[in-house]
Chains A and B, each alone.
Chain A
Amino acid sequence: MEYDIILAGVGGQGVLSMAAIISMGAMEDGLHVRQSEVHGMAQRGGAVLAHLRLSSRPISSDLIPRGRAGMILSLEPLESLRYLSYLSPGGGIVVTSKNPVKNITVYPDLEKLYDTIRDLEQSKLIDAEGEARKAGTVRAANMVMVGAASGCLPVKPSDLEKAIAGLFKSKGKDLVDVNIEAFRMGQRS
């Protein structure tokens, strides 16, 4: 089994926490994991891309070859379309938040973006911020997205929840509960 995921978003949105949760959950499931991150200048409000590779065999490359990713998981609709060349033709899915980050002067027409995403072979558009707000905090939007992706991931949802609990443990039980709730909202959406 090999499953490659491109994680996308804007610097500061929590792309790396999303990657960390899926990684931890996958390791709990006994999979090999490689997770390539972006640090430094590139994180300052710019486009952020992380490569996450899960496999039942050892993995050589930290980077995903183009045409191989099973999923693009994005926290931002424009960013979800930036890396389509990584997606496996006939089999890859784009799972993205529909909430835009408009920190650039010319942002494309949002409805047009949504239409483009809906026109892809397989896609899921999620109101991550809306669901996160219902769970308790808009900052858990990334956990909503992990939940929304979980149905396609080769990782048991219970292991993802365990990873969420582990990541937020030091910040108190309330935050653990909110993030797990956000994850479950994502699963249902």
Chain B
Amino acid sequence: MSNMVLLGDEALAIGAVHAGISAAFAYPGTPSTEITEYLIEYSKKHGAPIASWSSNEKTAYEEALGVSFVGKRVLVSMKHVGLNVAADPFMNSALLDIKGGLVLAVADDPGMHSSQDEQDSRYYADFARIICLEPVNQQQAYDMTREAFDLSEGFHIPVMIRLTTRLAHSRAVVSVSEPRQENPMEKTDNPRAWMLLPGYARKRWADLLSRQKDFLSYTEKTDHNELNLNDSNRELGVITTGLGHNYFMENFGDFREKPSYLHIGAYPVPVEKVRALVSHVKKLVILEEGYPFVERYLRGYLPPPIPVLGKETGEVPPSGELNPDNVRKALGLPEREQAEGAAVELPGRPPQLCAGCPHADTYFSLNEALAGYDRSIVTADIGCYALGALPPYEAIETIVCMGASVSMAKGSAQAGYEHVVAVIGDSTFLHSGITPLVDAVAGDIPMTVLIVDNETVAMTGGQETILPSSKLEPLVRGIGVDLDHIRTILPLKKHFDENVKIIREEVEYPGVSVIIALRECVETAKRKRRS
């Protein structure tokens, strides 16, 4: 046993190493990025496990399946919206006969600190009918990850670990134990359980359904689902999930009569324990970090036997994060006294492009190039350049999901709108921008893709892009974009006029054109200089 100070993400990562993983795959995404960053550093030092970024979450998940297929343990991690991208392999993998432990770590972002939505991944675990573990602190992130691999191999399913932002990005001391060895290489002895032909898949699905009772009997027994009944207080009961537990405990000391409570850290929901709590009390409060997942199941369609207070009824805020204060209010405890606010008005300070950022120069040129047209559209994508939505740029009009800039531009141009430009980063292009560009070339659509290539995955902290910049131009050419309409610009103030001219020429071209605005991220360049 030894102690380490770790982020929740890092505790999960070292838990996976100590569980004997042979490989780990991921696409960077806040708040999950530090899992794989830690593993890549660990691997550099120790020579194992394999730890690498993938093109996107779908390829990462499928690569992980390949590792599991040969009997080895593997971790795949992503942010919540990344699981939408990986949903196809994820859902189907629940039907496979997993022997090499496969654990999916997914980090949700309630409050949308760095995301487009605050979807709750527990629905995905439920959708796939697998087990999900949800740690409440760094120690549990370590312990549960180790256990998740045993569960995966014991129940022959992928197991999900769900983190949320505050745990992913909070540090505490973690005590770690003896590492386990890697599994031996052993290809599956049950190939029919890996070929989801309809005839085989039907059997696998029936088999998965028949094992639900085993999963449930595990979650009814495990200590992760802690039922604590106070016989001297039959009034208030509390169900907590995720970090709701911590904020409940922060306020626990202020109850004169301690409420009975159930904390759920392992899913499927332990139904008997829920029933035991409900029959013990007269009123129930549900505190969940994320969607009202347990709450909505518990309410169902029929009136509950006792009042249930939560996100559906408004005692708990239905969106955003829980915190010690909104939980305190939901529990009916008196508000704490606070210091007075400042007597001056404080303007907000939203995030912005860094000083000297190449995207800033690109946006100024793009705005000027499009200034003369009555009709134009600029679709954009997920990355630092999404900050081009804010003043002084106000250069873009859509931000939806990875790759959507290119596909949406194609749709708008095909519908007949003129002067359509898609702005997409180098890493986002490789993640999900190539396939819609194939669509655009196939349809010979009049549109321009502006790849803002800063040679790094900047938003998540400067990870290496999966392919170097030198490969982008040949890639675009290979898809079939006309060589005369693949242009590279250097986004610097001194090239402003020239860049405006090039952008305008390509916007005027009645076919698919690609402009690569190539200049390294200033932050990445700074980091390289320092090291």
Distance in angstroms between the alpha carbons of A84 and B249 in the assembled complex:
24
B31 A44 Cβ-Cβ under 8 A:
no
B525 contact set on A, CB distance < 8 A: none
B171 A84 Cβ-Cβ under 8 A:
no
B249 A61 Cβ-Cβ under 8 A:
yes
> Does A152 reach chain B (CB closer than 8 Å)?
no
User: Of A111-119, A124-132, A143-151, which stretch is located at the interface?
Assistant: A111-119
- With A60-B250, A65-B336, A107-B347 in contact, is A40–B172 under 8 Å at CB? no
B342 A92 Cβ-Cβ under 8 A:
no
A44 B384 Cβ-Cβ under 8 A:
yes
Residues in A1-44 with C-beta less than 8 Å from chain B? 10-12, 23-24, 27, 32-44
Mask, B162-204, CB within 8 Å of A = 1, is 0000110111110000000000000000000000000000000
B461 contact set on A, CB distance < 8 A: 39-40
The contact of A39 among B34, B172, B245, B246, by CB within 8 Å, is B34
B166 A66 Cβ-Cβ under 8 A:
no
A44 B339 Cβ-Cβ under 8 A:
no
A106 B347 Cβ-Cβ under 8 A:
yes
B354 A44 Cβ-Cβ under 8 A:
yes
Band of interface residues on B:
35 or more
User: Of B86-94, B293-301, B323-331, which stretch is located at the interface?
Assistant: B323-331
> Does A87 reach chain B (CB closer than 8 Å)?
yes
A-B contacts counted at CB < 8 A amount to: 160
A63 B352 Cβ-Cβ under 8 A:
no
Distance in angstroms between the alpha carbons of A103 and B351 in the assembled complex:
10
B324 A108 Cβ-Cβ under 8 A:
no
- With A47-B348, A81-B346 in contact, is A62–B173 under 8 Å at CB? no
Mask, B116-138, CB within 8 Å of A = 1, is 00000000000000000000000
Band of interface residues on A:
35 or more
> Does B231 reach chain A (CB closer than 8 Å)?
no
The contact of B173 among A33, A37, A40, by CB within 8 Å, is A33
> Does B412 reach chain A (CB closer than 8 Å)?
no
B347 A38 Cβ-Cβ under 8 A:
no
Q: How far is the CB of A139 from chain B (nearest CB, A)?
A: 11
Distance in angstroms between the alpha carbons of A162 and B298 in the assembled complex:
52
- With A36-B166, A85-B339 in contact, is A43–B33 under 8 Å at CB? no
B351 contact set on A, CB distance < 8 A: 11, 41-46
Q: How far is the CB of A92 from chain B (nearest CB, A)?
A: 6
Main secondary structure of the interface of A (DSSP, over half): loop
> Does B488 reach chain A (CB closer than 8 Å)?
no
> Does B341 reach chain A (CB closer than 8 Å)?
yes
A116 B347 Cβ-Cβ under 8 A:
no
- With A27-B5, A44-B354 in contact, is A39–B114 under 8 Å at CB? yes
> Does B427 reach chain A (CB closer than 8 Å)?
no
- With A34-B170, A35-B170 in contact, is A103–B336 under 8 Å at CB? no
Residues of B within 8 A of A (CB): 5, 7, 30-31, 33-34, 113-114, 166-167, 169-173, 243, 245-247, 249-252, 323-325, 328, 336-355, 384, 387, 391, 459-461
Q: What are 27 A-B pairs at a CB distance below 8 A?
A: A23-B171, A32-B173, A33-B173, A35-B170, A37-B171, A39-B30, A40-B461, A41-B113, A41-B384, A42-B114, A46-B351, A46-B352, A60-B249, A61-B247, A61-B249, A62-B243, A62-B246, A63-B247, A79-B349, A85-B339, A87-B338, A87-B339, A92-B339, A103-B352, A104-B347, A107-B347, A108-B344
Shortest beta-carbon contacts, A-B, top 3? A40-B30, A40-B114, A46-B351
Residues of A within 8 A of B (CB): 10-12, 23-24, 27, 32-47, 59-68, 78-79, 81-82, 84-89, 92, 103-108, 112-113, 116, 119, 121
